[in-house]
Amino acid sequence: MKFSYCPICREKLSEKNIGDEGLVKYCISCERPYFDSPSSCVEVLVINEHNQVLLLKQNYISKTHWGVVSGYVNNGETLEEAVVREVLEETGQQVEKIQYVESYYFKPKELIMAGYIAFVKERPFNNSNEVDDLKWYEIGEINKYIARINNMSGIHFDNSMRLLNL
Ligand SMILES: [Zn+2]
């Protein structure tokens, strides 16, 4: 995100030479640099003890396709904590084990997305308002439903399957 004004004190930012980073936007009042960094997100493939994959229908993202769990990382939490929290919030599933897969850069929204697999034991759904529908899919049927256009769900599913040899 490119800053012009300080989000804390609202003063116009100047620039400061910061080591190897070169010229960086800087608030003189707050003595704080603002790097042109993407927002941090997690992208999570949830898989249960029957090797079924949990997909979400979120109409604000796509009216036709299903995606994996995703969400912004809160300031103060680790990527792994964000994975556990987002899976619980969006699906009601309790994460038992997580595995890192790969990261993705999502240009349209300037996001850096850390991709994980979350292993769960199937529990009743308890989804947030942001989730319109939830369903366990067999791995072989995922390709018919998963979002691949303007969405990282498809590539994250592919990479996860490769990693798990499924
Ligand atoms: Zn400031």
All structural domains of the chain with their residue ranges: 1-36, 39-164
User: Which class in CATH covers the domain with range 39-164?
Assistant: alpha beta
Q: How far is the CA of 114 from the centre of ligand 1 (A)?
A: 29
User: Is the model's pLDDT at 1 over the cut of 80?
Assistant: no
User: Is the model's pLDDT at 128 over the cut of 90?
Assistant: no
The closest alpha carbon to 153, from 13, 10, 74, 56, belongs to 56
Cα(73)–Cα(78) distance, rounded to whole angstroms? 8
Q: How far is the CA of 106 from the centre of ligand 1 (A)?
A: 28
Q: How far is the CA of 18 from the centre of ligand 1 (A)?
A: 17
Q: How far is the CA of 10 from the centre of ligand 1 (A)?
A: 6
| Mean pLDDT calculated for residue range 131-153 | 95
pLDDT tens figures, 82-117: 999 999 999 999 999 999 999 999 999 999 999 999
Tokens 């791995």 belong to 139
Average of per-residue pLDDT values in the chain? 95
Q: How far is the CA of 30 from the centre of ligand 1 (A)?
A: 4
Kind of pairing between the strands at 95-106 and 111-120: antiparallel
